[in-house]
RNA sequence: GGGUAGGUAGCGAAGCGGUCAAACGCAUCAGACUGUAAAUCUGACGGCUUAUGCCUUCGGAGGUUCGAAUCCUUCCCUACCCA
């Protein structure tokens, strides 16, 4: 049987890097019972298997879940395969193709593989929500929907926004908060975690648990992270995400491209550096002597270290300085062998995916973005003669080694 | 069920018979400047081996016309008002 740290010690850890705990005193009470009866809390986190690519924005809430695991509580990871199977048509024209059960299983697996870079395998329970949602009958659904009112559901701010923007909302979308709430009922969660954008759903979970005679879960929200563009929320589809599965080089490079204003936030939310380090960085940032670039180098190093290891982090840093500070050629670049003795440059660019179409290749050449062995090519009709290997560079970061 | 306003490139939005591959803004990409930052400036931004050329595109399908994103018919979709 596990012994738990004192309530105060636990609360100190739990509170860190969170936005809200609702209600805080209720959580303390739950912890008191847990310490007394040596019974771990069940801490729920839901995830969407239709988007199985985790990025460092996800790491914030996963780390919080990990904190609970380390304190001895049970992490309940819910894979939302049921909702993924239905397909969420939010946003017009983009009727997301519903996933098959098989696909949700595969995605659930890759999700878990990535999540285990942060979560511990101990104290972990993984559940698929089709297990209970798929079994509900129509009368079950009616009973569930009778527990909540229309105006309560419409309070959710993105519904409200879409209403006032005169955008469609499908009826079943209104049921998503309720189905998520049913997950809480099914797994009898004591605490549910989520980003601040999930606050509404998490609160519905409380209400529904109560309506089903359970003691309501406490909710903990964590901050959302802006993407590398510094404006939008980090998301793979917005192309501003640093993903768990990105190569060390990419993690480092993408980190270097974040705006200065986000440096501190990234340190706080995406690394596990102790508070004392964070304070130090905060001070350095205010010092006009500091070049923010150097802090980003440190940040990039930390991130690669977290998702790979120290050695890769070191390599990524060196590589970056080599390519971008000293403008040299990177170590590992893709190779491409040309077949013919004479071939148009635009064709090679298209074949090597350094340009999406011939037209784009021509555009790039005209704009002076293309060079061969360091010599800028400005003739769009340039023909390559297969005499010796060379390095083709397109734009700032695309390199291909062309072999004869 | 009745009425009104709509559906245009990744998004937003003009165009309402030829000069439309379609203004403008955002996003994106490239160049300059840099710290692969931000800001700024310049350029590109459907495809085609590059062409005062061809092909595909303005919700779908038909039609009128020498010519349609623009007019007509019909179907599909969305929001709003009334019931």
Q: How far apart are CA A286 and CA A291, in angstroms?
A: 10
CA-to-C1' span, A166 to B25 (A): 22
Quick one: DSSP state of residue A238? G
Closest nucleotide to the alpha carbon of A262, via C1': B37
The strand ranges marked E within A254-344 are 335-337, 342-344
Task: Give the predicted TM-score (pTM) of the model.
Answer: 0.85
**For position A163, what pLDDT does the model report?**
85
**Strand A335-337 to strand A42-47: parallel, antiparallel, or no bridges (unpaired)?**
unpaired
Taking only the tens place, the pLDDT of each residue in A17-57 is 999 998 999 999 999 998 888 899 999 999 888 778 899 99
From edge to edge, which strands make up the β-sheet containing A390-394? A335-337, A398-403, A390-394, A370-372, A375-376
**For helices A292-307 and A248-256, angle between their N-to-C axes, nearest 10 degrees:** 150
Whether A145 sits with its Cβ under 7 A from any strand B atom: the answer reads: no
Averaged pLDDT, A243-263: 89
Phi/psi at A335 (nearest 5 deg)?
Answer: -115, 150
CA-to-C1' span, A163 to B33 (A): 45
Q: How far apart are CA A223 and CA A219, in angstroms?
A: 13
Q: Which strand B bases fall within 7 angstroms of a protein CB?
A: 11, 27-32, 35-38, 43-51, 78-80
Q: Of residues A200 and A94, which shows the higher confidence score?
A: A200
- Of A61, A143, A130, the closest CA to residue A102 belongs to A130
Contacts of A194 (CB under 8 A, 6+ apart): A45, A46, A61, A201, A202, A219, A220, A221, A222
CA-to-C1' span, A230 to B21 (A): 34
Scanning residues 151 through 170 of protein chain A, those with a beta carbon under 7 Å from any atom of strand B turn out to be: 163, 166-169
Task: Categorize the per-residue pLDDT at A218 as very low, low, confident or very high, splitting at 50, 70 and 90.
Answer: very high
Whether A348 sits with its Cβ under 7 A from any strand B atom: the answer reads: no
Complex ipTM, two decimals? 0.81
Taking only the tens place, the pLDDT of each residue in A293-325 is 889 999 999 999 999 999 999 999 998 888 887
């Amino acid at each position: 049987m596990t012994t738990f740290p004192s309530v105060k010690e636990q609360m100190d850890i739990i509170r860190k890097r969170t936005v809200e705990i609702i209600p805080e005193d209720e959580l303390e009470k739950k912890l008191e019972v847990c310490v007394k009866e040596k019974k771990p809390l069940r801490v729920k986190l839901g995830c969407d298997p239709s988007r199985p690519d985790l990025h460092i924005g996800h790491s914030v809430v996963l780390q919080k879940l990990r904190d609970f695991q380390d304190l001895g509580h049970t992490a309940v990871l819910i894979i939302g395969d049921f909702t993924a199977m239905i397909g969420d048509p939010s946003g017009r024209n983009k009727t997301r193709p519903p996933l098959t059960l098989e696909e949700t299983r595969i995605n659930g697996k890759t999700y878990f593989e990535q999540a285990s870079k942060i979560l511990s395998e101990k104290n972990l329970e993984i559940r698929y929500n089709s297990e209970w949602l798929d079994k509900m009958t129509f009368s079950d659904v009616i009973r569930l929907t009778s527990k909540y009112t229309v105006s309560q559901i419409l309070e959710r701010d993105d519904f409200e926004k879409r209403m006032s923007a005169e955008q469609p909302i499908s009826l079943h979308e209104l049921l998503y908060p309720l189905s998520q709430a049913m997950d809480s009922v099914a797994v009898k969660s004591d605490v549910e975690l989520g980003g601040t954008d999930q606050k509404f759903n998490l609160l519905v979970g409380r209400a529904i648990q109560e309506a089903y005679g359970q003691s309501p879960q406490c909710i903990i929200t964590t901050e959302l992270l802006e993407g590398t563009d510094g404006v939008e929320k980090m998301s793979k589809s917005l192309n501003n995400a640093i993903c768990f599965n990105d190569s060390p080089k990419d993690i480092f490079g993408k980190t270097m491209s974040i705006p200065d204003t986000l440096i501190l936030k990234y340190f706080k939310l995406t690394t596990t550096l102790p508070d004392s380090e964070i304070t130090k960085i905060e001070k350095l940032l205010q010092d006009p002597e500091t070049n923010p670039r150097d802090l980003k180098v440190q940040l990039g190093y930390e991130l690669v270290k977290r998702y790979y290891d120290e050695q890769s982090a070191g390599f990524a840093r060196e590589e970056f300085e080599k390519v971008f500070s000293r403008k040299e050629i990177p170590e590992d670049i893709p190779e491409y062998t040309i077949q013919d003795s004479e071939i148009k440059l635009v064709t090679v660019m298209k074949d090597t995916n350094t340009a999406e179409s011939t037209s784009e290749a021509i555009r790039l050449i005209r704009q002076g973005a293309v060079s061969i062995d360091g010599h800028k090519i400005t003739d769009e009709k340039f023909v390559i003669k297969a005499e010796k290997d060379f390095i083709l560079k397109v734009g700032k970061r695309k390199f291909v080694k062309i072999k004869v």
